[in-house]
Amino acid sequence: MTETLATAPAAADAATLPQSRHLATAIPGPRSQALHAQRQAHVTDGFGVTLPVFIDRAGGGILQDVDGNRIIDFASGIAVTSIGASNRRVRERVAAQLERFTHTCFMVTEYESFTQVAKWLNEHTPGDFDKRTALFSTGAEAVENAVKIARSATGRDKVLVFDEAYHGRSLLTMAMTAKVNPYKLNFGPFPAEIVRTSSANPLRSPAAAQGPESVTAAALAGVEATLAEHGPGDFAAMVIEPIQGEGGFVVPAPGFLAGLRAIADRHGIVLVIDEIQAGMGRTGTLFASEHEGVAGDITLSAKALADGVPLSAVTGRTELMNAVHAGGLGGTYAGNPLACEAALAVFEAFEDGTLLENARAIEAAARAALAPLVQETGLVAEFRGRGAMLAVEFAEPGTLAPRADIAKEVSARCHAQGVLTLTCGTHGNIIRLLPPLVIGPELLADGLQVLRGAILAAAGPAAV
């Protein structure tokens, strides 16, 4: 093991990391296997792992492991390293900040980058109204603080959340997350006052056969019925992902978000849009709620916000954000200076570059390669998503019974060939694609061909 560590190359420039897939050993290779055995000796089994390879360097669309394999990255560390895992701007800004200071605690003494990040988010999140921002470190913290702020501002307790929702792993956000295994299993009891209702799932809604408008109408009627049952005047917030992440990359039927906006307004409920996975350019617009022309009263950012340095944000109407008593919000590491510098580098990349165009080009290439599989194979129920947040769902034709076994086999085939894919969904029957927005077109095409071949091999041809 010491040999592996000692021979790891020094921090070479990521620009020199070849942007091509390369298999030097089987995956995982012998060094990864040895390191994984060490991990098992020292790290809790409570953490799962998608692909047990140990990464030596990463950048662009490539993860290079300790055995010298170059793996195509269709995960971005779960939608985090959108501008690449060793982006030059991020490295330079963070390195310069490291020379100055690592931390003061913004609640003790202040630094300007925190304000600059807040200002940019106030200007760029949806909603043409006066805003303030609070910075934290993790997505779950942002969700928790949004609930704190909404409760403080409204004097109400209840929070409406949706089927298939994912909001985090802390105690409150576990309660808000839908799926029990693995996220909530054995971890209760959970905080009270969380109420769940149906979302507008275009594939699986009972109204699906009648078309998307019926799906939206049925889901909105369900929301009104749930609110009526629990007392609409008791709800502080409704929290919704504009495209569901862990729950299955479900794009809500058109008009659903706008309908929620109207319902929230009618009942004085704070609409919190959890853009933690779908935001920061992932779907081809800066925030995914822009596709539906909807602005939350509060918008949450995290994941891609600082390209891998932990940072999250709650951005909302000034009157809500300032309703909290002074000292009521904060955290030791909230808006850490290294993370704020990384976020400023991300903002520069969005302002100077073609990242939103890249996301749309990724969608076009993936759609061309994968959408025909719905017709060509027996078990691909749907290809869906927006920008570089795309998914393939496997299910029995007709019944839509989920086929997690196929998603698992497709992943295994991709992993063996050096393409990192993730699964998601309540039933684990969905492959999701989250490539970095900076992945090159040839690398993307190579990864998509591997994925396409793996799906054809696992899902079989369509019955004629």
Ligand X SMILES: *Cc1c(COP(=O)(O)O)cnc(C)c1O
List contacts with ligand X (CB under 6 A). 138-140, 143, 166-168, 241, 245, 274, 276-277, 302-303
What CA–CA distance (Å, rounded) separates 65 from 53?
6
What CA–CA distance (Å, rounded) separates 117 from 57?
28
Which residue lies nearer to ligand X by CB, 51 or 140?
140
Q: CB of residue 244 vs ligand X: minimum separation in angstroms?
A: 8
Q: What is the residue type of 357?
A: E
Which residue lies nearer to ligand X by CB, 245 or 428?
245
Q: CB of residue 316 vs ligand X: minimum separation in angstroms?
A: 16
For residue 279, list its beta bridge partners: none
Q: CB of residue 298 vs ligand X: minimum separation in angstroms?
A: 13
Under a CB-based contact definition with an 8 Å cutoff, are residues 430 and 424 in contact? yes
Q: CB of residue 213 vs ligand X: minimum separation in angstroms?
A: 26
What CA–CA distance (Å, rounded) separates 338 from 91?
10
Which residue lies nearer to ligand X by CB, 276 or 379?
276
What CA–CA distance (Å, rounded) separates 344 from 25?
39
Closest CA to 155 of 233, 228, 224: 233
Which residue lies nearer to ligand X by CB, 220 or 424?
424
Which residue lies nearer to ligand X by CB, 32 or 289?
289
Q: CB of residue 117 vs ligand X: minimum separation in angstroms?
A: 16
Which residue lies nearer to ligand X by CB, 68 or 182?
182
Which residue lies nearer to ligand X by CB, 138 or 289?
138
Q: Is the peptide bond before 28 cis (omega within 30 degrees of 0)?
A: yes
Q: Please report, for residues 51, 418, 434, the alpha-carbon distance to residue 414 in angstroms, rounded to integers and kept in the order given.
A: 11, 6, 14
Q: CB of residue 1 vs ligand X: minimum separation in angstroms?
A: 29
Which residue lies nearer to ligand X by CB, 80 or 263?
80
Which residue lies nearer to ligand X by CB, 276 or 338?
276
From the number of C-beta atoms within 10 Å of its C-beta (0-12, 13-18, 19+), residue 144 rates as buried
Q: Which residue is nearest to ligand X (CB)?
A: 139
Q: CB of residue 85 vs ligand X: minimum separation in angstroms?
A: 17
Distance of CA 450 to the CA centre of its chain: 23
What CA–CA distance (Å, rounded) separates 72 from 18?
11
Q: CB of residue 200 vs ligand X: minimum separation in angstroms?
A: 17
Q: CB of residue 167 vs ligand X: minimum separation in angstroms?
A: 5
